[in-house]
Chains A and B, each alone.
Chain A
Amino acid sequence: MSKRKVKETHMPVGECISQVQMILRERFCHQRLPEKPVGMESQHKHLLELLRRTAVHGESNSVLIVGPRGSGKTMLLNCVLRELLEVKDVNKNVLPVHLNGLLQTDDRIALKEITRQLNLENVVGDKVFGSFAENLAFLLEALKKGDRSSSRPVLFILDEFDLFAHHKNQTLLYNLLDVSQSAQAPVAVIGLTCRLDVLELLEKRVKSRFSHRQIHLLSSLSFIQYLDNVRSQLSLPQDFPDTNFYDEWNDGIKVRHFSSYPQLVDVLQRHYNSSKDFRSLHLLLMLALSRVSASKPAIKPTDLLEASRVCMVDSKANILHGLSILELCLIIAMKHLNDIYEGEPFNFQMVHNEFKKFLQRKSHSIHNFDKPVVIKAFEHLQQLELIKSMDSSTAKIQKEYQLMKLLLDHSQIMEALQKYPQCPTDVKQWAMSAFG
């Protein structure tokens, strides 16, 4: 700090801003690893110890890291791996193999990928030779030949572990876990999953071979900690080139600024209530950050408010704003049908009748549409997935009589009507009336 103060470098604001954008975007979008994982010290220690024993002592292990989405499973693992690989004699001794259940959708692909990453001798360049059976036999033979003290430990990292459990016979899992439980090459099988019931997915033989170590990442973050987190996420690192800008920026997100805007605290509280994970927070902060420019070189509470508004907005209500009056009328007709028949499905004919009744009785501003036009509007609603057909076989039944359901809540419709620009009053009244 002192050293930098001596330098007192200054940069034009534009450059500072682009620096800030770069640093923070990397943090928010690129999942950059923090210095130290926060709020998961014990889990960190457990995992680090476990992997270190595999790397140093050649002890085979298996572990599952379980936590909801966005709770930092991958972050924790990557932090541990980074720390582990910093140790000199570990660095060259471990062979990490990364697999993802979404990419390696069956054992055949997974085996090829393992072989490729281990760079076994049936790999030439990037190509893996041999059939599925040969690959499996080859890998098993390779692992079997190894022993605890002389072969390099292999770290199998299985992202989306639960998806591997859906592979046929769970062959891959059985074999990996079997190796981890027998005197072969040392391996550590690390599974990452968000399913709490993942063990129930494992076949009994596979389950018996799993060591039943689970590291749970369940954040018990309080709101105060959450606010601290927001601040630390927004603050600039100490080695920021321009000191003045650094001070100004970091002052701008101090506590008093936050607390002086009760609205802001409310918004953050709402976010906190909705979800504690970092991904949604990053989304919010990203939106706020994008409002920072050279002319406005600081994050203001209003930016956060605006960002939050964008985040929280209801997607369906947004779609409703773009509908024509006719389509809106059909939606209202459907709403009334739902009220009358208590959520039973309806077909086009019913909606059309309801709509015609409305036209006959009340409408002055809406002129009579031809039936084909109404059908077109109805189909448009279906395309927008605001309504959904209930029958699977669409071909058999005539279009007008297909049973449909409305995928909108009443509150959404009412809200959309309130905000709809130049909505005719009689349509509004019709919507609010108890019965069509």
Chain B
Amino acid sequence: MVRYFTRLRMRRIYKWGGRPYIFDRKLKSYGFEYLNMSVEGQEAVTTVTPGQYILIEGNDDEYPFVAKLLKFFGDESHKQKKALVQWFLRLSEVPQNKKLLLGRSPHPQEIFYYLGRACDNEINAESILGTVQHVPEDTPFPEPGTKDTLYVKLSWDTKAFNVLDPVLMQDTPASTPPKPALPLFPPCASPTATPVSRGPVRRALPTPDPTVMRRAGSVSDTRATMSAGKRSTLEAESIHSASKLSASKILSAKRRGSAADTPGVRKKLQLSPGKKMTRADVLCELLDEEMESEKVISLKLSSSVSHSLQHGCSLSPMRSGCKTPNGQRRFPWKLSSISLDRLSPTALGEQDLSRATTPSRRKESAMAIRKPALGVLAEEDSEDSPMQPIALTPRSKRKSAQLVSLRIRKQLNLLDNTQKLISDGDDDCFVPSKKDLQSSSDSEEETMVRKTRGRNGKASARTPCKTPSKKVCMVTPSTPRHATPSIPSRTVPARQPGNILEEARARLHVSSVPESLPCREQEFQDIYNFVESKVMDGTGGCMYISGVPGTGKTATIHEVIRCLQHASDMDEIPTFRFIEINGMKMTDPHQAYVQILQKLTDQKVTADHAAALLEKRFSNPAPKKETTVLLVDELDLLWTRKQNVMYNLFDWPTRRHARLVVLTIANTMDLPERIMINRVASRLGLTRMSFQPYSFKQLQQIITSRLNKVKAFEEDALQLVSRKVAALSGDARRCLDICRRATEICEHSTSHPSSAGLVRMNHVMEALDEMFSSSYITAIRCASLQEQLFLRAVIAEFRRLGLEEATFQQVFVQHRALSRVEGLQPISVSEGLAVCQRLGACRLLLLEASRLDMLQRVRLNVSQDDVLYALKAVRD
């Protein structure tokens, strides 16, 4: 779905086609039959008619919005062109937290029928980019290479994925092909991207009528597109799309005719406009004709609704690692089994088994196994016919492989009792070498697929490629681009806490998430109300939260978001998306854009580009937009000289269509006034909140609630800790750390860790001492004699000078005198300097750069009284 007209920066021209009819007398709006769309400078015209699936310009060039066109209308002057649409969602538009509801990994081409009401389904017709091919829900996914076909299986009503109600798809104008009648697969069991789970699961599913198990490729279009598809020029595309369109119309008409007597038959509809052709695409086209004809047959075969036909690809290139019954090791071309197999349930099961156990790329093996069970149609494509074996395997270098393929094809041909139409036979249009040339411009995904293929020595250009290949790429990343960040897992699982003290320690660790956050009820309520109201109204806003470290700012916001998310799950408020960035966790303020965009859309782009995309996203009206709640932690780190990052962050919420709520956190209360220029501070607004440091009672409550009835501390001990911390900083982290240390001391104080009792006063005292006492005095006491002497010399010199600073030379004279008094041998200047440097390294003294040698100035880093106190204690 890459590079539509937007990319090319072309101006598109839209013209109404057909006769206008009055649509609404009151509003004086007129309906139109179709819309002609052309690109400036190009002759080709694309016609869009209601019922078609269209792409609509959105935030994202790569993934435009998808919708089904219901109606065109405009005003009298024909200036305004509007369209009524039914939206479809891509997975990337589904909120992050809801993606899991899908229960499987999504197909890149998958879209969802949108049932929500939050979106305006009236759009500006001039935002239409083009039409798109679309496949109803029952067809399995083909390989991801088919980029111009989208698949609908499920609907999304902002809460959950549901099986698509066929009625929804059917209530379309008559110009569209008939819609699928029955959803075949329950949503959870639908195909996934993982090769392991996917194939077997899908095939093992009970279908309404297993005897009629159909497989078909998502095939489209005429042979004429073949050559055009190889080119990526716009011109070619538009011409191609036009031809395609007409072809598809004919096809659809044909289908309608046949579907008339079998209403339950599902069809795939193909309305593919000009798009870049991928290899799979070409393939699809190749197979198109057979498909069509085959469909007709299948329709005849399945005379009842219950006989649901499954179109779609089982063209899965199976990864092979095992031997085939035929004993052939490698076969470069997997036959795309566009086969209309009628399989008995047992045969089906068997096949599943074979796939499950040997996920093989080779269709042949599967075929071989299936052979006896193969039902009516093992329909071969023309390429399977012996006519053009070489053209079929253009990539296989090995003769033997070609031979093998030939043989298999023959076998298959024999198998075909109802070999339907052998397609026009111009399969030689299918020339992968040309495709190779094109591949450089191919999308990343395509390249990736190609890469794996190359590695495996198999090229399966013909198979509408499928997820497994991609998956394999992920497993063995050859480049760091695909690397997954993870820490290796441990062999032995971590031990669980054994006794009460260990339990208490685990609970007291700052990282353990408490059941609730005590002592911040008011702040919680305020933030909750703020965010909730914004989410409800669909508006935006900023909030600034300040407080010293360790007062629960981030924790409270996370709690708020948890609650809100719960509420939105309960359907009390609309869904919203939560994104968190942290100024400290980025290397540069501009990285904020990159991180936000990545969390919103999973794109990785440069900072400038990300800024542009975000700007577009937040300033343009877009349908189906949900509120985004953005938490910016450590806001002060996002400061730049021009402050454009902050400016943007606070400016976006003010846009009409942004629906962005920005919560910012920093430590200082007056940050907006101190570091922000006026236009930034003004946009931040005055919604401020400040978290006060915890009082001792609150700290005590926090510890008690964390301990949650684990009796490990004496009441007094807890009170001592909380009072001490409250007096110093009110930092809850500090409080918890001290308590944790106290449990350790308690544990070590007894000989048997199991017999350790409660944490008492003395343990807590010891922990407090360790954490709060200054080490300077101990350091002075433990210093060597000469070092102590030097400190005394420093003080003596300070007293003599009446200053708090002296040069080493001056101090050294004092030092020498003192050592004579003490009866010590005076040390040399070199030694004296070494002593001085040692004291400087500990930061008992502050020194100038040592290149100044004897002239470096010396200051004390401790108070004179402390030094004297420490030294006096030594001498006593």
B-binding residues in A (CB < 8 A): 45, 49, 56-60, 66, 68-69, 89, 92-93, 95, 107-108, 118, 120-124, 129-130, 132-133, 136-143, 145-146, 148-154, 169, 171, 174-175, 178, 181-186, 194-197, 204-205, 207-209, 211-214, 216, 218-220, 270, 272-276, 312-317, 343, 385, 388, 405, 407-409, 411-412
Across the interface, do A196 and B775 meet the contact criterion of CB distance under 8 Å? yes
A95 to B489, CA, bound (A): 11
A89, A92, A194: the one contacting B841 at CB < 8 Å is A194
In the complex, A301→B595 CA distance in Å? 69
B98 within 8 A of A: no
Q: Tell me whether B588 is interfacial, beta carbon within 8 Å.
A: yes
Nearest CB on B from A31, distance (A): 19
**In the complex the two chains form, is A312's CB within 8 Å of B486's CB?**
no
Residues of B contacting A45 in the complex (Cβ-Cβ under 8 angstroms): 748
Pick the residue among B477, B487, B731 that contacts A145 (CB under 8 A). B487
Q: What separation, in Å, do the CA atoms of A324 and B837 have in the docked complex?
A: 31
Question: In the complex the two chains form, is B506's CB within 8 Å of A213's CB?
Answer: no
Q: How far is the CB of A330 from chain B (nearest CB, A)?
A: 18
Q: Taking A60-B509, A121-B477, A274-B827 as contacts, is the C-beta distance between A151 and B488 under 8 angstroms?
A: yes
Interface residues of B (CB under 8 A from A): 477, 479-480, 483-497, 502, 505-506, 509-513, 548-550, 584-588, 591, 594-595, 634, 637, 667, 729, 731, 733-734, 737-738, 740-741, 744, 748, 770-771, 775-776, 778-779, 781-787, 809, 812, 816, 824-825, 827-831, 834-835, 838, 841-844, 852-855, 861
Query: How long is the Cα–Cα vector from A410 to B744 in the complex, in angstroms?
Result: 56
13 sample A-B contacts, Cβ–Cβ < 8 Å, listed by A number: A56-B494, A68-B842, A121-B486, A124-B480, A129-B479, A136-B585, A152-B487, A196-B844, A204-B548, A204-B549, A218-B779, A218-B782, A274-B831
Residue of A nearest to B551 (CB): A208
Nearest residue (CB) in B for A213 is B741
Given known contacts A132-B587, A270-B825, A150 and B490 CB-to-CB distance under 8 angstroms = yes
Residues of B within 8 A of A204 (CB): 548-549, 667
A57-B495, A274-B786 in contact; A150/B489 too (CB < 8 A)? yes
Are A133 and B587 in contact (CB-based, < 8 A)? yes
Of the candidates A58, A150, A186, A205, the one having the most CB atoms from chain B within 10 angstroms of its own CB is: A205
Chain A nearest CB from B818 CB (Å) reads: 13
Question: Chain B residues with Cβ under 8 A from A56's Cβ?
Answer: 494-495
What is the minimal beta-carbon distance from A387 to any residue of chain B, in angstroms?
A: 11
Please give the distance in Å from A58's CB to the nearest CB on chain B. Answer: 4
Q: Are B733 and A118 in contact (CB under 8 A)?
A: no
In this complex, which of A143, A149, A196, A315 has the most chain B Cβ atoms within 10 angstroms of its Cβ?
A196
- A sample of 16 more A-B contacts (CB under 8 A), given A149-B493, A274-B831, is A57-B494, A57-B497, A93-B490, A95-B487, A121-B485, A122-B480, A129-B479, A129-B480, A146-B486, A211-B741, A272-B784, A273-B786, A274-B784, A274-B827, A315-B830, A407-B853
Q: In the assembled complex, how far is the CB of residue A318 from the closest CB belonging to chain B, in whole angstroms?
A: 9
Contacts of B506 in A (CB 8 A): 57, 59
Within 8 Å CB of A212, what residues of B?
734, 737-738, 771
Q: State whether B584 touches A273 (Cβ < 8 A).
A: no
Q: Which one, A58, A137, A195, A272, contacts B494 given CB within 8 A?
A: A58
CA distance A178 to B784 in the complex (A): 38
A-chain residues with CB within 8 Å of residue B824 when the two chains form the complex: 273
Count contacts between A and B, CB distance < 8 Å.
Answer: 230
When distances are taken between beta carbons in the complex, the residues of chain A under 8 Å from B496 are 57
Q: Which of A133, A146, A182, A274 contacts B510 (CB 8 A)?
A: A182
A138/B485 contact (C-beta < 8 A), A93-B491, A133-B588, A407-B853 known = yes
Closest to A70 in B: B838
**Cβ contact within 8 Å between A208 and B784:** no
| A137 / chain B contacts, CB cutoff of 8 Å | 585-586, 595
A68 to B552 Cα, complex, angstroms = 36
Please indicate the chain B residues that have their CB under 8 angstroms from the CB of A185 in the complex: 487
State in angstroms the CA–CA spacing of A212 and B497 once bound together.
Answer: 23
CA distance A281 to B78 in the complex (A): 96
Do A145 and B786 have beta carbons less than 8 Å apart?
no
Report A414 CB to chain B, min CB distance, Å. Answer: 12
The interface residues of chain A lying within 8 Å CB-to-CB of B513 are: 183
Which residues of chain A are near B775, meaning CB under 8 Å? 66, 196, 214, 216, 218
Provide the bound-state CA to CA distance between A145 and B737, in Å.
24
**CB–CB B771/A120 < 8 A:** no
Q: With A68-B841, A196-B843, A314-B830 given, is the CB distance from A214 to B778 under 8 Å?
A: no
List the A side residues contacting B855 at CB < 8 Å. Answer: 388, 405, 407
Residue of A nearest to B548 (CB): A204
**Residues of the A chain whose Cβ atoms lie less than 8 Å from the Cβ of B494:** 56-58, 148-150, 186
**In the complex, what distance in Å separates the CA atom of A212 from the CA atom of B844?**
20
Is there contact, CB below 8 Å, between A122 and B748?
no
Contact B509 A151 (CB under 8 A): no
Asked if residues A152 and B489 are in contact (CB atoms below 8 Å), the reply is yes
CB-defined contacts of B595 to chain A, threshold 8 Å: 137
Rounded to whole Å, the gap between the CB of B552 and the closest CB of chain A is 12
CB neighbours of A214 from chain B (8 A): 770-771, 775
Is A205 touching B549 in the complex (CB atoms < 8 A)?
Answer: yes
Q: Closest CB of chain A to B706's CB: distance in Å?
A: 14
In the complex, which residues of chain B have a beta carbon less than 8 angstroms from the beta carbon of A175? 584-585
Chain A residues with CB below 8 A from B729, complex form: 208
Find A68's partner among B493, B549, B838 (CB 8 Å cutoff): B838
A183 to B492, CA, bound (A): 19
Interface pair B733/A208, CB less than 8 Å apart: yes
Asked whether A313 lies within 8 Å of B828 as measured between CB atoms, the reply is yes
Task: Determine the chain B residues whose CB is within 8 A of the CB of A274 once the complex forms.
Answer: 784-786, 827, 831, 834-835
B490: contacting residue among A132, A152, A195, CB under 8 A? A152
**Contact yes or no, B486 A142, CB < 8 A:** yes
Which residues of chain B are near A132, meaning CB under 8 Å?
587
Which residue of chain A lies nearest to B782 when distances are taken between CB atoms in the complex? A218
